[in-house]
A and B are shown apart, each in its own frame.
Chain A
Amino acid sequence: MTQPIEKKPSVGLFVTCLVDLFRPTVGFAAIKLIEDAGCTVEVPRAQTCCGQPAYNSGDRADTRAIAENTIEAFEGFDYVVAPSGSCAGMLKKHYPGLLKGDAKWEARARAFSAKVHELVSFLVDVRGMRGVDARLDAAVTYHDSCSGLRELDIKQQPRALLASVAGVKLVEMQDPDVCCGFGGTFCVKYPDISNSIVETKTRSIAASGASTLLAGDLGCLMNMAGKLKREGSKVEVRHVAEVLAGMTQTPPIGGR
């Protein structure tokens, strides 16, 4: 896109329903980081959720209605950024298929999709950010959430930016790329299986010796934090954006 040199690119922040409801700090961290990357940020009021709960339950009609709302709300921006690989994946990879064959929406969905990015990928891959001005004195381990990793190729970007955070020591857990067992509605439809999967994950987290767990998706983070706290773990859980933006004064997800 050609921009006059003095005009900053405009970003519409798709804050995601979980961040809106449970973890506003992540939203504010996202705003700071996107502004630091030389963009203006707006938050359209007309957004709710990306539609995954309906989409993954087989309810295409409601998903389409939600997708149309979302596209309409974000059409005016140069970029659409979400602090979640899962929701960004939904917007970018699944909306076009959902609206394919619809004369009114197909082209709009494709144009929308091309502008969508997950937050950390946007900072690194689109804006060329190489470091942040932040500090956290902690050994951290990073969980690769599935959609971000496999739909959007997010793997090195968060690690690259974390390496620039003063005081952070990154220690990899075993199998950081294996699912945590959240899976959206899966975790409440099949709680026992989900529990077995997240137990494997919390064992890996504990074995890493890290004092802080980070990831880029609040659903996974709430699942892992909930399990860690139930097990009495002292590991603190945060969204990676909080650390990158230096907003770690908020208590960790699930408390201490």
Chain B
Amino acid sequence: MQITSPTFKQNSAGALADAQLQKALGNVRSGFIDKRQKAVNALPEFDRLRDNARAIKDHALENLDLYLEAYEAKVKASGGHVHWAQTAEDARNIILDICRSAGARTVTKGKSMITEEIALNDFLAENGIRPVETDLGEYIIQLRGEHPSHIIAPAVHLNKEQVEADFRRVHDHLPPGRDLSEPETLLNEARRVLRSAYFEADVGITGANFLVAETGSSIIVTNEGNGDLTQILPKVHIVMASLEKIVPTLEDAAQILRVLARSATGQEMSVYTTMSTGPRRPGDPDGPEEYHVVLLDNGRSSMLGTEFQDMLRCIRCGACMNHCPVYHAVGGHAYGWVYPGPMGAVLTPSLIGVDKSGHLPNASTFCGRCESVCPMKIPLPKMMRHWREREFERGLNPATQRAGLKLWAFLAKRPSLYRFATSIAIPMLSLLDRGKGRFGYLPLAGGWTKHRDLPAPEKRTFMQQLGSRATGAKEAVQ
């Protein structure tokens, strides 16, 4: 996947000018937030559950090597295979090898952000294997040649009419006069078309919401049931997951499940919570003949022990982006890579480098709403600030910004000089105001006055006025 994070500003300008996108984003602003709030209100112990969930993940991360080894042993004991992939390229090659051994021509896929991260679909297609996305949202954007704009609602940037047009364009074997006006008719059509793909597929690939060390199980949560068909019907099931998905026990997974769906969609539970442990055993009514787990690092182990370790608690619920004013304004594609919103602003620099994705941790007002709803209590603004620190240390921010900041800091560290400079500048600025109380334009303030007026200062600074007015307060003598 091409990285366009360096052109975040241009991407955003395009997004802000896109009327269709802006209409679709209106749904994010209302739907997700209200539903989550209702679910939270219905569960008085929600905040305590968040603390539990955080503690479980923190413990797992502190003992990651231990739990990964235990998990691997359990997977093997149940007849499955574990493949360790250090990079995205390693993971792609491992998956291709498995597909080739199975003689695969078609693979079905459950919804998985990690396969987006390793750009698996393009790679499989280049190698003559047809990947078919089976989650409705993923299916839609695959038809359009797009990438997810949201980690749990990949097609949230689209309107119903756009999807209808795509279905008419691609499903040209179906009667042109059919009714596709309701979301349900679109869903039924996708379901019919996908049904045959499930039976044609030689390999099914899913992600994982959890890997359970205690049992060697992987767990996915879905709402459409497509994940089950993806992993049960083909003869080979590949689970693609990153290292930090590990939890020690089934009980731990159950604890975190209590905050996951509530935070994501406002459901108490997703419609399906599916566990898979190894391949089909003798006597099992169904299941794959082969069960593979590909465990991807791709830079995550380098986050351990750093100020970014907390980010590895993320369970990909999407609550942060659902509540983010910047995401609401520009949508997910503007962020320029796989992970958008606040979690993407922290994770992306870790995975592709802050030199390429520096805009992401900067494009935040630090309003803190993401952290306030994060089920894992990840301090997202704090970590965005840490990225800004790394950028500043490496001199990556623009020279004009640095120069302005340095000049301001020079004064702010010297109170007497600061007082002197402001006592000249402010009265001068207030003279420019011709009684309107604001400026429509000011030199060097174009970033401000492009879209809004600048309120004018009162005639003299507070410190100046304080010296000559009886207020009952006296200045402390330093």
A58 adjacent to B393 (CB under 8 Å): yes
Shortest Cβ distance from A65 into B: residue: B413
B365 adjacent to A179 (CB under 8 Å): yes
Instruction: Find residues 233-256 in chain A having any chain B CB closer than 8 Å to their own CB.
Output: 250-256
B325 adjacent to A229 (CB under 8 Å): no
Instruction: Find residues 47-74 in chain A having any chain B CB closer than 8 Å to their own CB.
Output: 47-49, 51, 53-60, 62, 65-66, 69, 73
Q: Which residues of chain A are within 8 angstroms of B329 by Cβ–Cβ distance?
A: 193, 196-197
Does A126 reach chain B (CB closer than 8 Å)? Answer: no
A24 adjacent to B365 (CB under 8 Å): no
Contact of A45 among B411, B415, B454 (CB under 8 A): B415
Q: Which residues of chain A are within 8 angstroms of B463 by Cβ–Cβ distance?
A: 15, 20, 43, 45
B385 adjacent to A21 (CB under 8 Å): no
Q: How far is the CA of A76 from the CA of B330 in the complex (A)?
A: 47
Contact of A46 among B450, B466, B478 (CB under 8 A): B478
Chain B min CB distance to A192 (Å) = 6
Instruction: Find residues 205-256 in chain A having any chain B CB closer than 8 Å to their own CB.
Output: 222-223, 225-227, 229-230, 250-256
Q: Mark B449-478, 1 if CB is under 8 A from A, else 0.
A: 011111111101111011001011111101
Does B303 reach chain A (CB closer than 8 Å)? Answer: no
B453 adjacent to A229 (CB under 8 Å): yes
Q: How far is the CA of A21 from the CA of B12 in the complex (A)?
A: 33
Does B192 reach chain A (CB closer than 8 Å)? Answer: no
Please tell me the number of chain A residues within 8 Å of chain B, measured between CB atoms: 80
Chain B min CB distance to A166 (Å) = 24
Chain A min CB distance to B335 (Å) = 12
Chain B min CB distance to A106 (Å) = 18
Contact of A21 among B13, B412, B453, B457 (CB under 8 A): B457
- Given A45-B476, A65-B413: A192 and B405 interface contact (C-beta under 8 Å): no
B478 adjacent to A53 (CB under 8 Å): no
A21 adjacent to B422 (CB under 8 Å): yes
- Given A24-B462, A196-B16: A191 and B451 interface contact (C-beta under 8 Å): yes
Does A38 reach chain B (CB closer than 8 Å)? Answer: no
Does A100 reach chain B (CB closer than 8 Å)? Answer: no
Q: Which residues of chain B are within 8 angstroms of A195 by Cβ–Cβ distance?
A: 450-452
Contact of B473 among A43, A57, A73, A193 (CB under 8 A): A43
Does B178 reach chain A (CB closer than 8 Å)? Answer: no
- Given A46-B478, A191-B451: A66 and B412 interface contact (C-beta under 8 Å): yes
Query: In the complex, given contacts A49-B412, A226-B453, A255-B456, what are 17 additional A-B residue pairs having Cβ atoms less than 8 angstroms apart?
Result: A22-B456, A28-B471, A35-B472, A41-B473, A44-B475, A48-B415, A48-B418, A66-B409, A150-B368, A150-B369, A184-B366, A192-B9, A197-B326, A197-B365, A200-B328, A229-B438, A230-B453
A: residues with CB less than 8 A from B are 12-13, 15, 17, 19-25, 27-28, 31-32, 35, 40-49, 51, 53-60, 62, 65-66, 69, 73, 76, 146-147, 150-151, 177-179, 181-184, 186-198, 200, 222-223, 225-227, 229-230, 250-256
A-B contacts, 5 listed (Cβ < 8 Å): A43-B463, A43-B476, A57-B397, A226-B452, A226-B454
